[in-house]
Amino acid sequence: MKKILSTVLGLVFLFSINSYAEEKLTIEKQLVGIVGAISGTVKTETRELKAGDKIYLNETISAGAGSGTQILLLDQSTFTIGEDSEVVMDTFVFDPATNDGKIVASVKQGSLKVISGLISKKNPDSLTVEVPEGTLGSRGTEFQTIVSKGRTDTLLIGPGKNNTLGMRPGAVLVGNKLGQTLLDNPYSMTSMTKGKAPGQAKKITKNQLKKFNKKMKALRVAKLSPDSTKQERKQLRKSLKKELKEMGFEKEEIKTIIKKNIQKDKEKKVAIKKERAEERKKAKAEKKKNKKKKAKAEKKKGKKKKATKKKGKKKKAKVEKKKGKKKKATKKKATKKKATKKSTKKTTKKKATKKKATKKKATKKKATKKKKATKKKKAPKKKKAVKKKAPKKKKAVKKKKVVKKKKVVKKKKIVKKKIAKKKKKRKKKRKKKK
């Protein structure tokens, strides 16, 4: 389909250059372009359009439901009109010798997709689209606009992945009396309503992109069917031959013109392919460089991470060592305190036991002295009273004294044994602690 459109454009250029053709075309209506592709019912005020039909200035092109068309202008610009749309070509001035000119189109309702041509290449500000809410100034690029009730949405398409003709970078200036918004990034959009300035440029969402694509769905279906494209090509060639014959061109001239245009079209396609191949190579090279840079950066990051981990481990080990030393010191202090407390307790116990033993001894001594004193005092009275019985009593006293002495000796031995046992136990405890 693109081949047909380009050939048509080339032929139109040649028509305009040739003086003889210019004389023939200066009729009441001014030629603007040719219908390249069509689907469904597309009409003007006076006729129903078909592939290959001419489009004139100030004609209102209206596409019905499920319909659409693609118009090729004389400067190689393409206007794709979506379903339920009305578009008018208000101004078209073009000089093929210098590529100077001006294009002004107005969209009353529906959708319009624009791919700028030679006029925009020479002067990017020379193509404008008027909408009810303001104007769209094309600066050599590919864009689409949807006009609905009280609202206009504009999308900048090219250059990008879906750039149909390998267009160079461009922009769209969306504005009205209240303000302006520049779309210079692919697949950025803005909305404009009545009585308000256009909104800020935003990246289009998936749902919004579906909305834009739906408007061009009918025309895409017509392009995809292979039978229809062949028929359209035949019809275009026949119609072009007839037009050239009417203008006064001979068969050989017509053949040469068509051949030249086909060659030009092929050369353009080859150049575009080369450019795209070079762009792909550059993109691949850039990707490789970026990958290498990323790999180097990742290695550096890994080394840094390892170094930081090692430092962290060392710091943790130092902290743990310090903590262990502190714990050991605290434990030693606690054990020393406990040992000192135990030793103090033992010493106090020893002192208490010694005091008790000394007190017991002292009390025993006192008791023995008192008994002796009492015995000495009582003994002489008995002697005076009864002299005969004295010897018997002395023997008894002696016996009592022996028994008492034996009991005291036994008690001392028991006390000594207890003290010796306690000393042995203390020695054993000290050995165990050591």
Q: Phi and psi of 113, rounded to 5°? A: -110, 130
* Tokens linked to 222: 């017509």
Q: How many CA atoms lie within 13 A of 372 on its CB side?
A: 9
pLDDT of residue 17: 42
pLDDT of residue 382: 46
Residue in the structure block whose two tokens are 């991470």: 305
Question: With contact defined as beta carbons under 8 Å apart, do 118 and 80 qualify?
Answer: no
Q: What residues in the chain have per-residue pLDDT under 70?
A: 1-28, 159-169, 217-266, 268-269, 375-404, 434
pLDDT of residue 257: 62
Neighbours of 270 (CB within 10 A): 10
CATH code 3.40.50.150 for 2-249: no
Q: Measured in whole angstroms, how far is the alpha carbon of residue 67 from the centre of its chain?
A: 41
Query: Rounded distance, CA 60 to CA 250, Å?
Result: 35
Residue in the structure block whose two tokens are 């050239």: 244
Residue 238's nearest CA partner among 51, 2, 25 is: 51
Q: Measured in whole angstroms, how far is the alpha carbon of residue 61 from the centre of its chain?
A: 46
Residue in the structure block whose two tokens are 């002004």: 104
Question: With contact defined as beta carbons under 8 Å apart, do 201 and 190 qualify?
Answer: yes
| Domain spans, the chain | 2-249
Percent above pLDDT 90 for the chain: 23
Query: Which residue stretches of 124-225 are H helix?
Result: 206-214, 217-224
Query: Rounded distance, CA 189 to CA 64, Å?
Result: 26
Angle at which helix 251-385 crosses helix 2-17, to 10 degrees, equals: 130
pLDDT of residue 223: 42
Query: Rounded distance, CA 217 to CA 122, Å?
Result: 32
Residue 108's nearest CA partner among 152, 174, 69 is: 152
Query: Rounded distance, CA 153 to CA 82, Å?
Result: 14
* Tokens linked to 338: 């406990």
Q: Measured in whole angstroms, how far is the alpha carbon of residue 226 from the centre of its chain?
A: 43
Q: Indicate the SS3 state at residue 81.
A: strand
pLDDT of residue 386: 44
Residue in the structure block whose two tokens are 């061109």: 249
Pairing relationship of beta strands 100-115 and 127-131 according to DSSP bridges: parallel
Query: Rounded distance, CA 129 to CA 136, Å?
Result: 5
Contacts for 215 with CB less than 8 Å, ≥ 6 apart? 82, 83, 85, 110, 111, 144, 146
Peptide bond into 159 cis (omega under 30): yes
